[in-house]
Amino acid sequence: MPEASRAKRDDVDVAGVLASVAGVSRAVAALRYAEAGIPVFPCVTGGKRPLTKRGFHEASTEPRQVARWWARWPHANIGMPTGHASGLEVVDVDVHGAIRGFAAFELARREGLTDRWAAFVRTPSGGVHAYYPADPELAQPSWQVARAGIDFRGAGGYVIVPPSIIPTDAGRCAYALIGSGRGNAVPVDARVLRQFLDPRPARLMPVIPAERTDGIDVERIARWVGMRGEGERNRGLFWASCRLIEAGIPPDRVRAALGPAAERAGLPAPEIETTIRSAHRIATGAPSVPTAYPVSGHSSLPSSGQVLS
């Protein structure tokens, strides 16, 4: 990107630019982004797929290039690369079926992890894009925590920006600015935010005495393991294995109870065996066990009495 465009982008009032595109055509809006130093590229009408061969890698702030694209595709939606390319990163609060990311975002806000946004944009799904300035010294990659309903769009990602339109069950819905920050926006620490939303085993809980087996519903725990999705399966199996082994259930019974459920969830047999062995080694050979796996979906396992959250 030319230095003049980069300097303009670094000084951009993103909320002001988003406000300026309300009520204008997508062709005019695309030029306003480019003139403000925010690179854009065309996406399919009513969708998010790029129309250019190299997608967001071809995003441009050059007005003539942007004008050519929207002369060719006048109703194209507008894509914006995130991260250093635009100087902006986005926390996507998703609404999809039973998944609603607002509760997780609010918890993160209370912890001071997401409270210094530059702008809020309503998305057609009913969710929100929270815009933040990108840290100029740190390239933060994009990631997703599906069960929390939160995506982070940084390096290697892009978002659709106002006034783009996506058809929904309720009709044609546009991306639109719904709020701005207080002029003190700061970058999000994406690593800390992800750890907060998707904590790795770190804290410890007491070992349950081996003779205590009351209150352990093996079938219920197995059903819970079988409901884990991709990215949750291995740690879900690990937690469940530790739980049963701590309750005095022999490893062969743990395998018989949890193995088929883990296979239904999509784990290969060698990984299941390795995970259960690891759980047995930790649960029986250490004074404590890694913290349990966070709950997701509509299952209520683990309960607050079984695990520290």
Residues 140 and 248 reside in one and the same domain: no
Residue pLDDT, tens place only, 109-157? 999 999 999 999 999 989 999 999 999 888 999 999 988 999 999 999 9
245 domain residue, yes or no: yes
Residues 264 and 158 reside in one and the same domain: no
pLDDT, residue 200, reads 65
Residues 83 and 104 reside in one and the same domain: yes
pLDDT, residue 252, reads 85
State the DSSP string of 29-71. Answer: HHHHHHHTT--BEEE-TTS--BSSTTGGGG-B--HHHHHHHHH
Residues 286 and 167 reside in one and the same domain: no
pLDDT, residue 224, reads 86
pLDDT, residue 234, reads 82
Q: Which residue has the higher pLDDT, 205 or 246?
A: 246
Residues 152 and 264 reside in one and the same domain: no
Q: Which residue has the higher pLDDT, 265 or 140?
A: 140
Residues 191 and 221 reside in one and the same domain: no
301 domain residue, yes or no: no
Residues 232 and 191 reside in one and the same domain: no
Residues 182 and 281 reside in one and the same domain: no
Give 149's DSSP letter. T
pLDDT, residue 291, reads 33
Q: Are 174 and 120 in contact (CB under 8 A)?
A: no
Residues 180 and 269 reside in one and the same domain: no
296 domain residue, yes or no: no
Residues 110 and 154 reside in one and the same domain: yes
The count of structural domains within the chain is 2
* Domain coverage including residue 109: 3-197
Of the residues 147, 172, 197, the one at which a domain ends = 197
Quote the pTM value. Answer: 0.64
Residue pLDDT, tens place only, 61-81? 999 999 999 999 999 999 999
303 domain residue, yes or no: no
Identify which of 11, 4, 40 has the alpha carbon closest to the alpha carbon of residue 136: 11
306 domain residue, yes or no: no
Of the residues 197, 213, 235, the one at which a domain ends = 197
Instruction: Name the amino acid, one letter, at 101.
Output: G
Q: What is the mean pLDDT of the chain?
A: 82
Residues 180 and 61 reside in one and the same domain: yes
Q: Is the pLDDT of residue 1 over 50?
A: no
Q: Is the pLDDT of residue 210 over 50?
A: no
